[in-house]
Amino acid sequence: MKKPTTASRRHWMKTSVAAGGALALDPLALRAAAGSYRIAPFRFDVTPPMGHPLCGGWITPVKSVDDGLEAIGFVLLGAGDPIVICAVDWTGILNEGHIAWRTGLAEAAGTTPDRVAIQCVHQHDAPFACTATEKLLAAEKTGLTCVDPVFFQSCIERGQTAIREALKTARPVTHIATGEAKVDRVAGNRRLDLGPDGRVRRMRGSACRVPELVALPEGLIDPMLKTVAFYDGTEKLVACHYYACHPMSHYGQGAVSSDYPGLARKQRQAAEPGCTHIYFTGAAGNIAAGKYNDGSPEARIALTGRIHDAMVAAGKALTPEPLTQVSWVTHDLLPQVNPAFTEASQLALVKDPANAAANRIRPGMRVSWIRRLDAGMPIVLSALHANRATLLHLPAESFVEYQLRAQKIGEGRFVATAAYGDGGPWYIPTAEAFPQGGYEVSVANCAPETDDAISAGLRDLLGRA
């Protein structure tokens, strides 16, 4: 793993803070006394306007809104500088765009960007935002767009306003609880159809109507939905839900939706309006609902019900205990670029007007990734340790093996994994998956050696619990 030098790390931090301006709030004023924790839940709208690109600009843009998109999170006070954790109903936020979000929310909370985790839920009828790619597309006069910069910035500003308002009414958080429940008939591994050569022949995606693929077993998944909840006395204030499966039932027609996980979350929110419910998609790079989803509207309803039922069941398992220990740990990651890609080859695809939009925008994102690594901008893995619970934050479309590996490394702890953080790497397969090929490997921006780097990061984060 190529690690950032001290100088490059210092430069990245300076430029990140500079991007958001000076801290508007004194961090010292927001710290609670040691052992006296407070929590400030927040939420704000991130629904794109009509005509805005969806999924990065290679599916139908916004034509209607089935249900709005939200960014939901909380600020935790009392464990040093404030900690911000937020889930966003977007496909992804990449590279400089992800840093801009973390910097903006850090400014509002009175903290630093490395103490902010921004995780996307990864619905596809939603924005896929890479501001560096947007600038590249404009510079090359492609006539294409992946995200409206004005809308993008307005979302950060709404987030800042939401956090500042939330901090005014921060509540004591005295207890924490964990619970889990098995999810019925949602997740299945996408990479089970292997040929005699051991390579992936077909992918069982988010929706599937191929009988022989549907008939394949679930394969390697994490069947459990995990919930971590924070309380003021007996009153539940925040409930974080985690499950590893691509969150799409049907998409691509321009109808914005938070899809089945978001709809399940909204049902829980309506049933418990005094508690802020947040949903995080786990390490689902190779996991989807295709075994149990034919892409019909009826299937979306069924999947919503199954996730909702698991949320309710996990909630019934919650047994609050006093919150006595909280810490925040980070690990910098500067992966190697997949050797299949070079800046020159990808830039040539961007420049070629004969290519379809997807085959120009995707390479543009890859160019942005390569340039970002050359500039020494690391991905930041992070974890919130609270009593025996760990809220783990991973980048992009990490394979489920990383989530299961984290649970093994942290044996004895309740490890709840949120992936789809910084989306720059796109898919992050395991080293063993690369020789198997398949879609995920073909678009992975990282080299196989990233497996070792992430594993080292997991050992570091969980070793500091």
Q: pLDDT tens digits, residue range 189-208?
A: 999 999 999 999 999 999 99
In sequence order, which residues have a C-beta less than 8 Å from that of residue 264 and are 6 or more positions away? 279, 304, 305, 307, 308, 311
Question: What are the pLDDT digits (tens) for 213-246?
Answer: 999 999 999 999 999 999 999 999 999 999 999 9
288-300 residue pLDDT tens: 999 999 999 999 9
Provide the percentage of residues in the chain whose pLDDT is more than 70: 92
Is the pLDDT score of 260 beyond 90?
Answer: yes
Mean pLDDT of the chain: 93
Dihedral of CA atoms 166, 167, 173, 177 in degrees, nearest 10, equals 40
Give the model's pLDDT for residue 459: 98
Mean pLDDT throughout 88-113? 98
Per DSSP, 141 falls in state T
Q: What DSSP line would sit under 299-338, residue for residue?
A: HHHHHHHHHHHHHHHHHHT---EE---EEEEEEEE-PPBP
pLDDT band at 408 (very low <50, low <70, confident <90, very high): very high
At residue 35, the pLDDT reads 54
- 2 has pLDDT over 80: no
H or E element that contains 287: strand 287-288
Question: Any residues with CB less than 8 A from the CB of 355 and at least 6 apart, and which?
Answer: 349
From residue 450, give the alpha-carbon distance in Å to each of 57, 247, 334, 352, 434.
Answer: 28, 25, 9, 30, 11
Residue type, 282: G
* Average pLDDT value for residue range 386-404: 98
* Res 1 pLDDT > 60: no
**Is pLDDT at 307 greater than 80 in this prediction?**
yes
Extents of the domains making up the chain: 6-463
